[in-house]
Amino acid sequence: MGNELKVFLGRLWPVLVVLVIIPVASYVVWWLFPTQELNILVVDKTVPNQRFGEHHGLFWALEYDKIVKEDNSFYEESRDYFGYFPNVQERKKGTVQDLSKHSEGELIELAKEADVLYLTDTYGVYENDFDEVMDPDEFSNKVYGGLDQKEINLLAQAKKQEKVIIAEYNTMASPTTLNNRAQFELLMGLKWTGWIARYFDELDTLANDELPNWLVNNYLEQNDEQWGFVGPGLVFVHETGEIEIFRQGVEFEQTVPLIRTQHFNKPEFKLPEIVPYPDWFEVVFIDRGYEVISYFDIGPTAQGMERLKEMGLPRFFPAAVVQNNGKGQQYYFTGDFSDMRQNLGSAHFKGLPFLFRGLYSPLNYRDRQSFFWNYYLPLIRQILDRVEK
């Protein structure tokens, strides 16, 4: 009996180590790390539900690195941002708590107190976000959204006071007015080409019900009701409504668009050299003062290069860029990088990112968590680690 018990305990020990001892130890180590105070202003106007997807990844990173507010409390994704606040009940319209009622003096003070201004998304919320019958991916009337003048003024003050500024995909596009977009581009040193793009692993409308109806219908209207696409493809959509479709093996060669980070990139960010990215991204031009952290590579063929030229687009597209702003920096991400609608688990376990980077291959483009653990999380942690108080 004694030997059987020893054998049983011997087999149980590795399980206890993995399921109990390591998690408890990592939890204790997390609590032993000191907190770091950073005043981070987040603007997110695209919050139709309680998932807080457009800034969930950012707030997970803040909690994991124990970045706290001035009162030493942790940032809460459900309250510590400016923008749209959803009703507790799903599919019910919420409330607006943004900068619209702030005076110019209050905006100056906000910028003065801030260490980081992060514009995660201004696309907004729409009627179909609250209608169970309507498809949330289709166009409908706007409830709230668009970059407005108060956010422009706050951005201008943050730049003037040499703060760290981070903005990303869907900050300056529709429904932002052309005037506000122009101001944003001038302040950030960017120029949007009007094009956005996304990879789909199947263009056959009968085989892929995730193709947006508006995309297919607009293309049919522009091309004599002819579709005829099958297999993987890259869809380019212009703000005018024009749609161009690149076919894998014809206009581009990559399995999926790649985010490439040169091993010795000038800004010295440590990131995987190749990470696939199948989601929406913008094509922008950047001022010469910017340094490229990462860029998109679709692997265009000669035919693809010719079509890109006709569209006024370059061979490579910026993905993440940075330029100095006195004591601060300005960053722009052309992809929807901070968007994370999946459960990432508790942020209170030290070493969890290292574990998940091993579990989620950077080459697995179908899993959004793979992109989070391998690219966005190490990128945003390194950015915040460089913020000077």
pLDDT, tens only, 33-73:
789 999 999 999 999 988 898 999 999 999 999 999 999 99
**In the predicted model, is pLDDT for residue 380 greater than 50?**
yes
What are the distances in angstroms from CA 50 to CA 16, 88, 92, 93?
A: 35, 7, 11, 12
Per-residue pLDDT tens digits for 318-344:
999 999 999 999 999 999 999 888 888
What is the Cα–Cα distance from 118 to 81, expressed in whole angstroms?
A: 10
Inter-residue contact 82 to 99 (CB < 8 Å): yes
Reduced to 3 states (helix: H, G, I; strand: E, B; else coil), residue 328 is strand
Average pLDDT over residues 171-182: 96
**Domain chopping of the chain, boundaries:** 1-32, 34-188+338-389, 192-282+294-321
By mean pLDDT, which of 125-134, 295-304, 333-342 is the weakest? 125-134
What are the distances in angstroms from CA 20 to CA 45, 64, 373?
A: 40, 20, 23
Helices 178-188 & 149-160, crossing angle to 10 degrees?
A: 10
pLDDT interval class at 11 (50, 70, 90):
low
DSSP codes joined into one string, 50-73 = TT-HHHHHHHHHHHHTTEE-TTSP
- DSSP-derived letter for residue 47 is -
pLDDT interval class at 278 (50, 70, 90):
confident
What is the Cα–Cα distance from 205 to 143, expressed in whole angstroms?
A: 30
Give residue 82's pLDDT: 98
DSSP codes joined into one string, 188-253 = HTEEEEEEEEEEES---TTT-TTS-HHHHHHHHHHTTT-----S-EEEEEETTS-EEEEEBTTTB-
- Of 157, 164, 156, the residue nearest 184 (C-alpha): 156
Inter-residue contact 272 to 375 (CB < 8 Å): yes
- Of 168, 362, 367, 198, the residue nearest 278 (C-alpha): 198
Give residue 19's pLDDT: 43
Amino acid in the structure at residue 356? F
**In the predicted model, is pLDDT for residue 15 greater than 50?**
no
pLDDT interval class at 24 (50, 70, 90):
low
> In terms of pLDDT, which residue wins out, 27 or 118?
118
Per-residue pLDDT tens digits for 194-253:
999 999 999 999 999 889 999 999 999 999 999 989 999 999 999 999 999 999 999 999
